[in-house]
Structure 1
Amino acid sequence: MKNKWLLALTLAFVISMTQAVAPVQAMVGENPDCISPKVVQLKGEMEKVWIDHTIWTRSYIVSAISNRPDQKDVLDRLMRNQQDIGNVIKPYYGEAAGNKLADLMREHIRIAVKIVAAAKAGNQSEVDKLEADWHKNADDIAKFLSAANPNWQFKELQDMLYTHLQLITEIVVSCIKGDWKADIAATDKNEIHMIHLADILTEGIVKQFPEKF
């Protein structure tokens, strides 16, 4: 009798739990606002590489302007970040496309390195020339990405990249002047801006490849 009572109680518990879980599962499956683990993973990976981009770019600027002995090591780490950015898109666009983006991003950094040196030397004419090259490179990055994904609009990406260049310029100028509050403010803005860019890229990939998520 006791065993029958325990069996009945167990069955009642199982049925009640099943009834409680079923509506939750149905809601998750039907709710368009639910984010899949794969989307969360991509969002995290994308944001990390672009946050790293802001961190190591600023670290290089400080190191170069201050003549720190870690300048080469910081630049090496910054260059590795450009490959990290390319690697994030490889699962969706392939090895060649990821490496192409990394090449374009490395050129972005090579020009930035020259700009820092010219600005530090007070050579404004050289800075102006290099900034034109910098914006041309930004155009190339925006063209490459917008050609790969119809959800990535060229003008939106171009505007995002141009703003990034402006914020980096503000950091360089502030560091040369020793205006650390302005440097910190521009760095904060740049980080938030790059997270926004990362989210635009993530959203575009999810829309283009819904079957992967």
Structure 2
Amino acid sequence: MTPLLRKATLLMICLALFGVPVMAVAKEAQRNGQQQECIKPKEVKLQGDMRKLWVDHMIWTRGYLISALAGLEDQEKVLARLLQNQVDIGNAIKPYYGEEAGKKLAELLTEHIVIAGKIIDAAKKGDQATVEKLNKEWFRNADDIAKFLSSANPNWPEKDLKEMMYTHLKLLSDNLQARLKKDWDADIAAFDKGEEHIIAMADVLTAGIIKQFPNQF
């Protein structure tokens, strides 16, 4: 890739990230007589890696939901892959926050999945009392995740992270209820909304890391 094409590609990615009108930026660049990169290759890579990890989180959570409710033979294999994803997300922050922080995040996210699995089992049995009890634990775990992350990075306000985690839980719950009712349209809609939300959440985490550790990019 030529330097000019590389700069143009980075500029277009920047526009997509920040929603800046293409023509407005082009005119401004023309006026300035130069075209500057607004994001760096390492920033692009981090964003791509973070998005993939969190989209995988959604994909494998949905996979386990389907397998568990239907009692499919792949249930344990899918669960193992889903749990590995939580370790992978923890590993992704180790270059910035260290080994212990990465392990801690993986532990919190693993708890998030374990509780979700219990909720699925209880919902499948129609045990609403247990579902409600587990939901309280699920939101408490979400609070713990938000608190942990916000303590690591001042660019991740705890309140904002809680809101994002709560939305994540709600959309997962919507997915579960839709499948229990065999409302496939609602099931697909909930997953699509959940995927869109998780990508936005991944971008918030990426932006926070880049802002906190500019010298690493």
- For normalisation by structure 2, the TM-score amounts to 0.84
- C-alpha separation in 2, matches of 1:27 and 1:147: 40
2:211 partner letter: K
- C-alpha separation in 2, matches of 1:40 and 1:143: 27
1:103 is aligned to 2:107: yes
1:75 is aligned to 2:79: yes
Alignment partner, residue 14 of structure 1: none
Q: Deviations over 1:74-106 (max 9, x none)?
A: 000000000011111111001110110000000
Alignment partner, residue 38 of structure 1: 42
Alignment partner, residue 190 of structure 2: 186
Gaps of 5+ in 1: 1-22
- C-alpha separation in 2, matches of 1:122 and 1:60: 18
Alignment partner, residue 131 of structure 1: 135
Alignment partner, residue 52 of structure 1: 56
1:203 partner letter: A
Secondary structure at the counterpart of residue 210 of structure 2: helix
- For normalisation by structure 1, the TM-score amounts to 0.85
- C-alpha separation in 1, matches of 2:171 and 2:111: 18
What is the Cα deviation at residue 27 of structure 1?
4.1
Cα RMSD over matched residues?
1.5
Gaps of 5+ in 2: 1-28
- C-alpha separation in 2, matches of 1:132 and 1:38: 39
- C-alpha separation in 2, matches of 1:156 and 1:150: 12
Percent of paired sites with the same residue: 58
Aligned pairs for 1:1-213 within 5 A: 27=34, 31=36, 34-213=38-217
Which of structures 1 and 2 has the larger relative contact order (alpha carbons within 8 angstroms, sep 6+)? Answer: 1
- C-alpha separation in 2, matches of 1:41 and 1:78: 23
The 4+ residue runs of structure 1 with deviation greater than 3 A are: none
